[in-house]
Structure 1
Amino acid sequence: MTGRERQLIESLARKVRMISFEQIARTWWPRTAAGKGNARRRIAGLVREGWLSEFRVLSQPMLPLDGPESVWQPGDPAPDFGSMSWRLRSRWKGSAAPLRVFTIGRHGAALFAATSAGIKNACHVTHDLHVTGIFLRLLADEPDAAERWIGEDAFTAGRKREKRPDALLVGEAGLPVRVIEFGGAYPPQRLREFHDHCVARRLPYEIW
């Protein structure tokens, strides 16, 4: 197993739920026709070997994710939830299309003491792939932050009744220092509840 393959498998075990082939190829292989072909062959091998599991799903087109739609820190005024909701809703264009995605396989789960759960909810595929997109953006631009990324499934054991953000960035002491959320077509009330949750805990947040 190469270093990039190990990083891919570990990301699925500890950071994100799923990843598309396009996300894999852009992140870990050269952005050329040859690079994409090599990625396709190697990923097929990782599936055969049990490191990854492959699924066919429907997903909305990926958004660019150039940066957060909203950034808040303790002491800042509350954002305009109505305006933010409109921005989040209006950016969705196009229709769902078939897509190949990958999750951690049985051997990958065993290596990193993770759970091989497959696709937990097909309705969340678009959301989960965008959370992966945020993680990969940090991996490229802020690798230290990506290293401190704790995915939702890693911190929600025993907390099913609590509000669960998509990810937390933790500090040296292991305590949360930033909340990461991908804003789907969120109504204003959901944004307000998320904001109030972070305010009560004095946690800075980013909504992408």
Structure 2
Amino acid sequence: MSHSIADDILVALTHSVRIFSIGQVARGWFEDDTTEAAAFLDRLRRVNLVTFKTHLVHPEFDSLSATVSWEPGNLPPDFRRAAYWLRSRWKQPKEELPLVSASDNACRRYGGTNVCPRASEMSHDLHMASLFVAWRLNSLLDGFGVWRSGDWLRAQGLSREFGKNVPDAALLDGSLNVSHLIEGGGSYCVRKLQAIHQAYKSYPYSIY
């Protein structure tokens, strides 16, 4: 087993995302070889570092372009247009997919968290994993910074300034200060987007 790849995947699952699909792990670490990725993850499962469970989820989106990309000093986004786009895209039928998450043992070894998503959050968290893999491959935000999840922000006491609208992820700079916020857009209404803007407006942010 390659320890560097194992460490990389397990740090991601305890600090950056909640879940991965086998396809995402293949895309991020095994040059799209799903057979090799599945075998590698199974070895991690057998040493009690990850767990597998099958869930009903929406398929990944073909496009990961930002619906909203905003920086302090700019005019507020067009919330109505963004809400229409976000609510129109969650229409593909759900499909069963095996998803991998960090075990309690992995959290003890690597620190971080392994929050178990509710069934209603699975598709959203799969979308966040897609964004993370794209960022890791330098095709999202140029792979800038250190990606940390909203769960990690909560655990570190860094989420209070956002109130009820804790971002799904944040990019941290070399001093581990927040430099960019990332939201995986659900079927959000205009009011929800306005509340997110109020919570995030001290930082550049993107909604995907």
In the superposition, the TM-score normalised over structure 2's length comes to 0.89
Q: Which residue of 101, 112, 115 maps to 1:114?
A: 112
Aligned-partner Cα distance in 1 for 2:197–2:181: 10
Counterpart position of 2:188: 186
Counterpart position of 1:59: 57
Q: Secondary structure at the match of 1:197?
A: helix
CA deviations 1:147-173 (Å, max 9, x no partner) are x11111111136585421101112233
Paired residues, number: 200
Q: Which residue of 119, 124, 131 maps to 1:134?
A: 131
Moved over 4 A (4+): 158-161
Q: Secondary structure at the match of 1:17?
A: coil
* TM-superposed deviation, 1:120: 3.3
CA deviations 1:117-152 (Å, max 9, x no partner) are 4x331110001111111111110013343xx11111
Counterpart position of 1:167: 169
* TM-superposed deviation, 1:36: 2.2
* TM-superposed deviation, 1:30: 2.8
Aligned-partner Cα distance in 1 for 2:21–2:165: 27
Q: Secondary structure at the match of 2:54?
A: strand
CA deviations 1:53-73 (Å, max 9, x no partner) are 111111011112432111101
Whether the aligned pair in 2 keeps the contact of 1:61 and 1:93 (CA below 8 Å) is no
Counterpart residue type for residue 172 of structure 1: G
Q: Secondary structure at the match of 1:64?
A: coil
Counterpart position of 1:21: 22
Whether the aligned pair in 2 keeps the contact of 1:72 and 1:205 (CA below 8 Å) is yes
Residues 70 and 11 of structure 1: CA distance in aligned 2, closer, same or farther (over 3 Å): same
Structure 2: which 5+ residue stretches go unaligned? none
Range 65-74 or range 152-161, more displaced: 152-161
Aligned-partner Cα distance in 2 for 1:17–1:175: 22
Residues 94 and 120 of structure 1: CA distance in aligned 2, closer, same or farther (over 3 Å): closer
Aligned-partner Cα distance in 2 for 1:52–1:136: 18
Aligned-partner Cα distance in 2 for 1:163–1:144: 23
Whether the aligned pair in 1 keeps the contact of 2:107 and 2:113 (CA below 8 Å) is yes
CA deviations 1:18-59 (Å, max 9, x no partner) are 11111111211133xxx3222222211211111111111110
Aligned-partner Cα distance in 2 for 1:162–1:24: 31
In the superposition, the TM-score normalised over structure 1's length comes to 0.89
Q: Percent identity?
A: 26
1:9 partnered with 2:10: yes
Counterpart residue type for residue 29 of structure 2: W
* TM-superposed deviation, 1:116: 4.3
Q: Secondary structure at the match of 1:156?
A: helix
1:203 partnered with 2:203: yes
Residues 27 and 173 of structure 1: CA distance in aligned 2, closer, same or farther (over 3 Å): closer
Counterpart position of 1:151: 149
Counterpart residue type for residue 180 of structure 2: R
Whether the aligned pair in 1 keeps the contact of 2:26 and 2:34 (CA below 8 Å) is yes
Counterpart residue type for residue 110 of structure 2: F
Whether the aligned pair in 1 keeps the contact of 2:79 and 2:190 (CA below 8 Å) is yes
* TM-superposed deviation, 1:115: 3.9
